[in-house]
Amino acid sequence: MRVYLRKAIALLLSVLLLASSGCALREREEGEDFSIVASFYPMYIILLNITDGIDNVHVHVMAQQHTGCLHDYQLQSSDMQELTKADVFVVNGAGMENFLSRVTEQLPDLPVITATEGMKLLHEDGTAHDHDEDEDHEEEDVNPHVWVSVEGAMQEVETITQGLMKTDPAHAEAYRQNADRYLQQLQALSDEMHAALDPYAGTSIVTFHEAFPYFAEEFGLNIAAVVNREPESEPSARELADTIDLIRHSHVKAVFAEPQYSTDTAQTVAQESGVPVYLLDPCTSGAMDKEAYLTAMRQNMQVLQQALQG
């Protein structure tokens, strides 16, 4: 009898383990919590929209204290703790989360939704900038800043929605409805921005870090130079001189710094080359509400209109 009981318990345990490890398609009980962790801010804002008003679905953002992109981000033990409790991890992908392999090694059963999956990506060296000193070149050669274009953000919304509908079928309908509403708002934003910015197609600009190629492509702008390709470090004097030289000898309208980083370098470049400096927001941090991306992009639209006219 005891042996039988032990066997039964062992069987039950293995069934439970199987059920929890293969949880990707597990139907949730009514009222059971579903916890989504976003790797960083742009994914978080998208998720706030897709999960808006859905009971028992919670969104957390990793790297919350970190402003800016995740380039060179070191995974904290608190991040792993958060992920251990998560039902799904939503990442941008395309090399933005360089710690991702560590997460999937330690939590092989955690479903991961990659927002850029299947997307046509731009190469990192899309701008005319030669890569002479190749220090540790661990970065992927694709540019991950897809969400900075409205079109890219819309594709990410769609991919994340599909992923959530599969991972959490109990809320599939609600995710779909929310996503459709958000996609409509993004489409309206895109229309508005095209109406405002299409007249400036072909204009050359200089940006602070490599965050804007998708945005530039969307609105036909030409990124003549990037002040600081690696935003966590300072550009060399030689790189700065080259950028200033390039601006002086081309028809660059403005230098754009980013609110997430010090504007000192961009300011120096702008002063030396005689063009104004403005702030352009790559939406890598900001207000923690679901309107934040729409608001920041409208702000970008106004800044660009002001900077590029005349």
Contact residues for Zn ion, defined by CB under 5 A = 69, 211
Give the span between the Cα atoms of 25 and 22, in whole angstroms: 7
Give the span between the Cα atoms of 152 and 146, in whole angstroms: 5
Do 97 and 70 touch, CB atoms closer than 8 A? yes
Shortest distance in whole angstroms from residue 257 CB to Zn ion:
14
Do 297 and 283 touch, CB atoms closer than 8 A? yes
Cβ nearer to Zn ion, comparing 111 with 213: 213
Q: Kindly provide the b/e burial profile for residues 239-274, where b requires at least 16 CB atoms within 10 angstroms of the residue's own CB.
A: bbeebbebbeeeebbbbbbbbbbebebbebbbeebe
Cβ nearer to Zn ion, comparing 89 with 212: 212
Cβ nearer to Zn ion, comparing 36 with 211: 211
Cβ nearer to Zn ion, comparing 153 with 164: 153
Shortest distance in whole angstroms from residue 211 CB to Zn ion:
5
Amino acid, res. 139: E
Give the span between the Cα atoms of 240 and 227, in whole angstroms: 7
Cβ nearer to Zn ion, comparing 119 with 170: 119
Shortest distance in whole angstroms from residue 79 CB to Zn ion:
19
Shortest distance in whole angstroms from residue 231 CB to Zn ion:
6
Q: How many CB atoms lie within 10 A of CB 153?
A: 26
Shortest distance in whole angstroms from residue 92 CB to Zn ion:
10
Nearest-CB residue to Zn ion? 69
